[in-house]
Chains A and B, each alone.
Chain A
Amino acid sequence: MAIAEQAEQGIHIGRLLHASTAGCVVGCRVSQSEVPEFGALVRIPLQKGYQIFGLIYDIHIEEDGLVRQLVTAENVPDDVIMDNRVNRNAPVEISVLHVGYSQQEKIYHMLPPRPPLSLDALYPCEPVSACGFSSAGRFGYFRHVLRAEDLPIGELLAAHIRLSNEYHRAQGETHWASDAVQELIILLRDDYPTLMAVLSALTDAGIE
């Protein structure tokens, strides 16, 4: 069964609000406990055999006038909290950086040829799929992160490597994190400030 078809059987996180080739923003309800972490790999299955992979680089919760008013109340009952999280039209916005795609189960660490469309569903990458993507090739998807100067590159890479390392270790792959760090050192050898920021964040994440 194709990866995209498998994903469609899972529980999606949210649906696409807007997108470009480089990234997309997905809306989801606040109540969903399965909101993935910052730095996690996600995927957007499209037509048969084609799906886009991305990294979550921002999770944004919009306020509105009523919420601003509710926070001034002494006590906010549980039913009011649930009403605002489940019923009211103020989704959590998840920003995703596209880092690759797969076509007929072959993974490419390149920008997707076509962006996803409105209301396409976003799914979390299960450990097998995350490991499959991150160990394909030679960390080519890091360059999409390093190119995104407006993002907190060090924090994003550290969070991603920490999460992915757990998946790889669970599968007996103990060298994945050190290989990833070595690759980053090579990629950033001419950019000392960014390299220091990335290595510092990796140290904080417990990746030496």
Chain B
Amino acid sequence: MPVNYQQALDQIRKMGKQAPEQEERMKRLREEAARLFVQYAAELDTLQQLVERAVSYNAKLRCAVPFEEALNKTTPLPELESSYTLFAADGSQIDPDRHAAVEFGAINVGIIRLHPGCGETPQEHVVSKLMFYDELHTANGGLLGEDVVALMRDMAERQELATLAQSEEPPVLTLTDGPLELFREGQGMPEFDKKAEEYRGVLETLADLGAATAGYVDKPRGDLLIRLLELVHLEQNDKLKEAGKLRPFQGISDAALFAGLLQPGERSAVFGIQSTTDVIFQGRLGLHFFYLNVGRAGHPYLSRVEIPKWVAENERLMTLLHASLVAQSAQVGVRAYPYILHRAHEIALITYSEREQLESMILAELRRQGVTVGEQSNKQFLKERRYS
């Protein structure tokens, strides 16, 4: 059956009627948040103490923490140094599917290495890992889910980056798409805890190398800074005990604060992250972030960049990261996004036809070995024959 467009239309019209009121409400919230942002911009100690008090009420509190710069400090686009090595990794995955003729999983990691300005052709690396039998199951015997495979993929990306970075002369930048802060979900599960330990090892390797590593978040919806300002609002209304539970600025993102503040090429101040993942990312691995305007004059376009503390504290690495991300984003024209990350995605992508090819190869091998092979579930068979 197609969508019941009549029902959908009624709901869309109802939503449309609410839109002007909603927009007005969001505008008021943005203005209030922006007022607190400016008012407390230099009150770093006050805000840090506020976060500490709020955490005493809510240990699972998640928000930004001031680092070393005023909240509304902006840093202009620095000059890009002439010689450095830039890596980007991305991954794609095949989740085990109990409806398929054969159960298998796959993680494909694509890495690209650039040495800008040196006239070298960029180098591509692809690492494909297939998973069979016991590798497909969790500790409690279930089939690996999408989230666990995604975590394995994220880990594989970073492990490959750390391995490749070891054979390079500094300075080296390594980029991945999305936050560095993995493991927000699933803490306590054996698979996650094991991977968290491995992730710490990878980050320690990169820190020892003095390599910059960053997670690039395109079109960020993050509200960690807004959540910090909510604490101010709650305290002013004597409701700090409800920190993280009452959300006075819900629906506003950090980007709303920076869209009018950051000029093209500028970055925001660096902020720390208060999160339950603090137990994983301790000391020099502590996660931080900043916003970056990779857009053009009149067309701001913000990204959020997550970095570990050892990068945040290293002026040269910060300068290089800032300048290279802006340069990379400018290379794809008006749709600003780091070229190297897009290429890593292209390299890593497993297409549907490639997935089918892998499945055929596996089935052929099983038949060659004289093993009984399974067949696709009836449900899947029928799904693939549905009318569109």
Q: CB within 8 Å of B: which residues of A?
A: 31, 66, 69-80, 82-83, 86-88
Contact = CB atoms under 8 A, between A and B. Distances in A.
Contacts of A86: 121
Contact of B335 (A69, A77, A83, A87): A69
A77 B331 CA distance: 8
A76 B122 contact: no
Contacts of A70: 331-333
Interface stretch (B48-56, B93-101, B339-347): B339-347
B121 A82 contact: yes
Contact of B333 (A31, A72, A78, A88): A72
Given A83-B343, A87-B122, A77 B116 contact: yes
Given A66-B342, A88-B346, A79 B332 contact: no
Given A72-B333, A78-B119, A87-B343, 12 more contacts: A69-B333, A69-B335, A71-B333, A79-B115, A79-B118, A79-B119, A79-B120, A79-B122, A82-B120, A82-B122, A83-B122, A88-B346
Contact of A80 (B115, B124, B339, B346): B339
6 nearest A-B residue pairs (beta carbon): A72-B333, A82-B121, A73-B333, A83-B122, A86-B121, A69-B332
Contacts of B34: none
Interface residues of B, number: 21
B127 interface: no
B331 A80 contact: yes
B194 to A, nearest CB: 35
Q: Which of A71, A72, A73: most chain B CB closer than 10 A?
A: A73
A66 to B, nearest CB: 7
Contacts of A80: 331, 339
Interface in B98-149: 112, 114-122, 124
Contacts of B330: 73-75
Contacts of A74: 330
A86 B330 CA distance: 21
A79 B116 contact: yes
Contacts of B335: 69
A176 to B, nearest CB: 41
Nearest to B121: A82
Given A77-B116, A78-B119, A87 B124 contact: yes
A69 to B, nearest CB: 5
5 contacts: A70-B332, A73-B330, A77-B116, A78-B119, A82-B120
A78 B122 CA distance: 10
A90 B115 CA distance: 22
B342 to A, nearest CB: 7
B121 A73 contact: no
Interface in B18-63: none
B121 A72 contact: no
Contacts of B114: 79, 83
B331 A76 contact: yes
B157 to A, nearest CB: 19
B334 interface: yes
A69 B332 CA distance: 6
Nearest to A71: B333
A82 B346 CA distance: 16
A201 B124 CA distance: 45
Contacts of B334: 72
A69 B122 CA distance: 19
Nearest to A86: B121
A73 B330 CA distance: 7
A83 B121 contact: yes
Contacts of B333: 69-73
